[in-house]
């Protein structure tokens, strides 16, 4: 029951993140929407799979994957954002008023 809820919640977070990719105006807000929701969604899915796996070697492998995911996904998003800043990409400032 709990594992199914975690799997559904993870899929929902990933769906919301993919919608955020389509709706956000620039690379920085898209990266934020995708990075946060992808990390939380994948973590929820892995936790749900850990509950299904029980006390086996699969549980240890999923735990290692979860730790790598929690460390590397935010680091990769940060590195991509820094590369975009150094690549002369300016952040979105909002709509300017035309007169």
Domain boundaries of the chain, sorted by first residue: 2-86
Return the number of other C-beta atoms located less than 10 Å from residue 13's C-beta.
20
What CA dihedral angle connects 65, 70, 76 and 82, to 10 degrees? -170
CA distance 42 to 7: 9
Are 46 and 65 within 8 A, CB to CB?
yes
Model confidence over 11-21: pLDDT tens digits?
999 999 999 88
pLDDT the model gives residue 89: 64
Residue 88, C-beta contacts closer than 8 angstroms, at least 6 positions apart: none
Model confidence over 33-88: pLDDT tens digits?
888 999 999 999 999 999 999 999 999 999 999 999 999 999 998 898 888 888 77
pLDDT band at 90 (very low <50, low <70, confident <90, very high): low
Whole-structure pTM value:
0.81
């Amino acid at each position: 029951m709990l594992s199914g809820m975690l799997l559904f919640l993870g899929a929902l977070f990933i769906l919301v993140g993919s919608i955020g990719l389509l709706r956000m105006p620039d690379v920085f807000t898209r990266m934020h929407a995708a990075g946060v929701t992808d990390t939380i969604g994948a973590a929820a899915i892995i936790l749900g799979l850990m509950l299904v796996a029980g006390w086996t070697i699969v549980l240890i492998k999923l735990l290692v994957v979860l730790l790598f995911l929690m460390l590397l996904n935010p680091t990769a998003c940060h590195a991509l954002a820094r590369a975009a800043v150094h690549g002369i990409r300016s952040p979105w400032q909002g709509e300017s008023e035309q007169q």
